[in-house]
């Protein structure tokens, strides 16, 4: 568009210079000088229009490359945006997992503390029982040994068994005596 505008200007100028009236020779020299000047000016205008045309075309190409680069960068920015959203989602999930792990660790610590307290209590009870057993053993050793107690208990059990047998024998003797007495009473009643 710019090229055609400059071309039209140049044609108009050239037509204007060629349509100059023919005059005597003296004027012709001046006219030739002016024509040369006009040719130089025309050449300059042509050079200027070509320069403008070149600048216009190169600027248009640069703008096209810039638009293409911007589109690529826009795509890259969209990709980066999606990756940032994904990374944010992963970060949220990791924070949730870490929070759950911290809660589980707190529960484990509480259970461990309860277990340690229970174990300490059991150890204390065990120590108290050991002390009681030791005191009891010392008491038994000082007063009577366990074997002596067992022997005495056995002796007492034997005596008790003997008494039970003796009592049983006595019961049987009493029954036998009672039977004999009853026979004697019957006999004495019949005789009387």
Q: How far apart, in whole angstroms, are the C-alpha atoms of residue 80 and residue 63?
A: 25
Q: Within this chain, do residues 14 and 77 fall inside the same structural domain, yes or no?
A: yes
Q: Which residue has the higher pLDDT, 63 or 161?
A: 63
Residue 102, token pair as written in the block: 């911290």
Q: Within this chain, do residues 137 and 149 fall inside the same structural domain, yes or no?
A: no
Res 162: pLDDT? 79
The shares of helix, strand and coil residues in the chain, as percent rounded to the nearest 5, are 95, 0, 5
Domain that residue 23 falls in? 2-143
Res 20: pLDDT? 47
Q: Within this chain, do residues 68 and 161 fall inside the same structural domain, yes or no?
A: no
Res 83: pLDDT? 92
Residue 151, token pair as written in the block: 């022997």
**pLDDT tops 60 at residue 12:** no
Q: Within this chain, do residues 112 and 151 fall inside the same structural domain, yes or no?
A: no
Enclosing H/E stretch for 188: helix 146-191
Q: Within this chain, do residues 108 and 173 fall inside the same structural domain, yes or no?
A: no
Q: Within this chain, do residues 113 and 20 fall inside the same structural domain, yes or no?
A: yes
Residue 154, token pair as written in the block: 């056995």
**pLDDT tops 50 at residue 22:** no
Q: How many folded domains does the chain comprise?
A: 2
Entry pTM: 0.36
pLDDT average, residue stretch 109-123:
82
């Amino acid at each position: 568009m710019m090229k055609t505008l400059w071309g039209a200007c140049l044609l108009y100028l050239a037509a204007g210079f060629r349509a100059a009236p023919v005059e005597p020779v003296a004027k012709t020299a001046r006219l030739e000088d002016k024509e040369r000047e006009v040719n130089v000016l025309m050449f300059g205008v042509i050079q200027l229009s070509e320069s403008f045309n070149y600048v216009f075309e190169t600027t248009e190409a640069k703008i096209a490359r810039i638009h293409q680069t911007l589109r690529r960068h826009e795509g890259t920015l969209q990709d980066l945006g999606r990756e940032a959203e994904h990374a944010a989602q992963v970060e949220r999930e990791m924070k949730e997992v870490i929070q759950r792990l911290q809660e589980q660790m707190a529960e484990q610590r509480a259970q461990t503390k309860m277990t340690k307290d229970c174990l300490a209590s059991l150890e204390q009870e065990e120590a108290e029982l050991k002390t009681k057993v030791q005191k009891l053993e010392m008491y038994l050793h000082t007063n009577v040994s366990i074997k002596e107690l067992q022997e005495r208990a056995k002796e007492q059990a034997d005596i008790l068994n003997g008494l039970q047998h003796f009592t049983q024998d006595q019961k049987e003797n009493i029954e036998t005596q009672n039977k004999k007495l009853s026979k004697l009473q019957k006999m004495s009643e019949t005789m009387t």
